[in-house]
Amino acid sequence: MGSISRRQLLKAGGAMGALGVVGAAAPTWAWSATQSVAGLGGQTPPWEVWDPEADPVVAAVIERGETARVNALLRGWTRNGQALPAGLPADLHAFLEQARRLPEWTDTRKLAAAVAFNERRGTYLGVSYGFVSGMMSTVIPHEARAVYSSKGGADMKRRISRTAKFGYDIGARNAFRPDGSMVVTAVKTRLAHAGVRHLLPRSAHWSATADERIPISQRDVLVTWHSLPTSVMRAMKAWGVRISGAEADAFLHSWQVAAHLLGVRDEYIPATWAAANAQAPQILDPVLAPTPEGIELARILVNLAAEVDGGALSRPLLQSMTRHFLGDRIADWLQLPRNPALDGGLAASWPAFVGLKEAGLLLPGSDHLSWAFDEVLRLGALWYLGDGQELHIEIPDRNNPN
Ligand code: HEM
């Protein structure tokens, strides 16, 4: 994978670890479950919980040698309202029937309002999912190490495209409706994560660098969750985007439902923005740090479009966008070079674009137009990243072999 050898990465990891750069600060869990969608909960901190329903079922599928057959069957399961394919192992079938149910606290009016918000704010959401959340994942040490060492780490283009599918499906007009795909996408992601929990502890690279026994705890999922809706909302507010309370709540709700479908316990899912904004500084902000794996993943990401233009424009543009949207501290951690002309251009043009858009000075009807434009862009990006192949989220059958 890439230009840095595994030996070099391990050495660099050791050096950064010695400097105390790698690894999260010892966590404390002071967030009360009364702030959660469940409204109550136990005392168990989320770093002591993984996915007790999905993990044994997926581990058994892998151990029985059924991964390829199950993945092939699940390719035909794409719509929320569709029956499960025949022939799945009984334990997996039973789990999926349970896991695909929307939580009882689902508010369909809010989900409909979230669709309207996604349409109206598509441009901002596209930019922030990519350059706020996406690039932030490379400075979340547990995630960067897990992704680097897992099967998908060997082919980041495929991996990113399947992750982008999550962002695409949650923003689609029919996301959680029977003809949409978001329930399927989230539940398949839950299966993929359960597979990673079973396989990654066998990875020599992961075991040598990780500071946890089993990857992807509920805390880890919450950290990544905050890198998505919480960071996106923070970014849009910082840019001066006007968002009503009802719109913000609707957007949050779509992500609350997604968290539930990903297997996060209701007692950890923030019920309100106030609750989310109280949780994020406890678990997201303190863990952000560079790792050799994250630096390497960021290098791969900014080079993703290089096969189209040789990287002459796309590489510096992606570097500058990361620097602009995540700031100098993170861009420097990721060792992304400065591109003075582009950096300056973005610093001037993005606020101007937002200012005009918010003042309603872009063309009348442009909200719908720009949503249509985004839709083409998003589909195009998914198609490009997936090399024109259909995208399927699957249970991994091995770790990164490199
Ligand atoms: C797989 C999304 C949290 C590590 C995936 C996939 C999606 C996804 C869509 C499937 C991609 C594929 O098949 O390649 C999410 C979302 C999260 C989340 C929405 C939280 C809200 C995490 C966390 C970690 C993690 C916290 C690690 C600490 C991985 C790994 C894979 C994966 C290693 C498997 C890639 C492979 O080898 O195939 N995730 N993820 N994810 N995720 Fe997550």
Comparing 217 with 380, the larger pLDDT belongs to: 217
pLDDT value at 215 more than 60: yes
- Round to whole Å and give the CA distance between 191 and 265: 16
**Residues in CB range of 321: below 8 A, 6 or more apart:** 127, 130, 131, 346
Atom of ligand 1 nearest to the CA of 399: 37
How would residue 7 be classed by pLDDT, with cut points 50, 70 and 90?
very low
User: Mind spelling out the 3-state secondary structure of the chain?
Assistant: CCCCCHHHHHHHHHHHHHCCCCCCCCCCCCCCHHHECCCCCCCCCHHHCCCCCHHHHHHHHHHCCCHHHHHHHHCCCCCCCCCCCCCCCHHHHHHHHHHCCCCCCCCHHHHHHHHHHHHHCHHHHHHHHHHHHHHHHHHCHHHHHHHHHEHHHHCHHHHHHHHHHHHHHHHCCCCCCCCCCHHHHHHHHHHHHHHHHHHHHHCHHHHHHCCCCCCCCHHHHHHHHHHHHHHHHHHHHHHCCCCCHHHHHHHHHHHHHHHHHCCCCHHHCECCHHHHHHHHHHHCHHHCCCCHHHHHHHHHHHCCCHHHHCCCCHHHHHHHHHHHHHCHHHHHHCCCCCCHHHHHHHHHHHHHHHHHHHCCCCCCCHHHHHHHHHHHHHHHHHHHHCCCCCCCCCCCCCECCC
165-199 pLDDT, tens per residue? 788 889 888 999 999 999 999 999 999 999 999 99
State pLDDT tens for residues 142-151: 999 998 899 8
Per-residue confidence band for 160, with pLDDT thresholds at 50, 70 and 90: confident
Residue type, 109: R
Measured in Å, residue 297 CA sits from the centre of ligand 1 at 14
pLDDT recorded at residue 1: 37
Gap from CA of 393 to ligand 1 centroid (Å): 10
Whether the per-residue pLDDT at 17 is higher than 50: the answer is no
pLDDT at residue 344 in the model: 93
Asked if the model's pLDDT at residue 378 lies above 50, the reply is yes
Residue-level length of the chain: 402
> What was the pLDDT predicted at 388?
57
- In this model, does residue 286 exceed pLDDT 80? yes
CA of 146 to the centre of ligand 1 (A): 9
CB within 8 Å of 120: residues ≥ 6 apart: 247, 367, 371
Residue 19 CB partners (closer than 8 Å, separation 6+): none
ipTM of the complex: 0.98
* The ligand 1 atom nearest the CA atom of 151: 37
* Ligand 1 neighbours by CB, cut-off 6 Å: 142-143, 146-147, 150-152, 159, 162-163, 166, 189, 192-193, 196, 215-216, 220-221, 224-225, 228, 262, 393-394, 396
The partner residues of 150 in beta bridges, in order of sequence, read 399
Query: Looking at this protein, which amino acid is placed at residue 8?
Result: Q
**Least trusted range by pLDDT, from 52-66, 235-249, 301-315:** 301-315
pLDDT in tens, 353-363: 888 878 875 55
Indicate if the pLDDT at residue 305 is higher than 60: yes
Q: Where are the domains of the chain?
A: 111-176+211-387
CA distances from 28 to 36, 48, 49, 283, 331 (A): 17, 12, 15, 9, 28
Cα-to-centroid distance, 61 and ligand 1 (Å): 19
Better-predicted residue by pLDDT, 192 or 24: 192
Read off the pLDDT of residues 321-355 as tens digits, 9 standing for 90 and up: 899 999 999 999 999 999 999 999 888 888 888 88
What is the rounded CA–CA span in Å between residue 291 and residue 23? 9
Q: 189 CA distance to ligand 1 centroid (A)?
A: 7
pLDDT at site 363 = 55
